[in-house]
């Protein structure tokens, strides 16, 4: 069956962020960088990030805790390596 020739609207910053969060946790800085790289307007990005935080889909403290626990338990990394990884992610 042929596809429709109508252009599909590009996803909003909020939709794109939700898709990324469905795959794995992200820090606010990681998501901001990713959305800006996808050419979303800075105001749209900030609004999406605020909404995600308000809805509790995005939480830097929770992200840091889960990231650290995972790296230390499953990859055997030490505290310094975990801190380095967290700094890289914002």
pLDDT for the residue numbered 3: 57
pLDDT tens, 58-74? 999 998 898 888 888 88
Residue 57 — φ and ψ, nearest 5°?
A: -85, -20
pTM for the complete prediction?
0.77
pLDDT tens, 17-48? 999 999 999 999 999 999 999 999 999 999 99
Q: Binning pLDDT at 50, 70 and 90, where does residue 51 land? A: very high
- Per-residue pLDDT for 2 more than 60? no
In the chain, what are the helix, strand and coil shares in percent, each to the nearest 5? 65, 0, 35
What is the rounded (10 degree) CA torsion for 52, 53, 56, 57?
A: 40
The gap from C-alpha 49 to its chain's centroid, in whole angstroms, comes to 9
């Amino acid at each position: 069956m042929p596809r429709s020739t109508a252009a599909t609207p590009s996803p909003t910053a909020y939709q794109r962020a939700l898709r990324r969060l469905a795959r794995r946790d992200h820090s606010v800085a990681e998501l901001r960088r990713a959305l800006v790289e996808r050419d979303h307007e800075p105001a749209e990005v900030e609004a999406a990030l605020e909404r995600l935080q308000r809805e509790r889909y995005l939480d830097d403290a929770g992200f840091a805790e889960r990231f650290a626990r995972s790296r230390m338990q499953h990859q055997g990394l030490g505290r310094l390596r975990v801190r380095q990884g967290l700094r890289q992610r914002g």
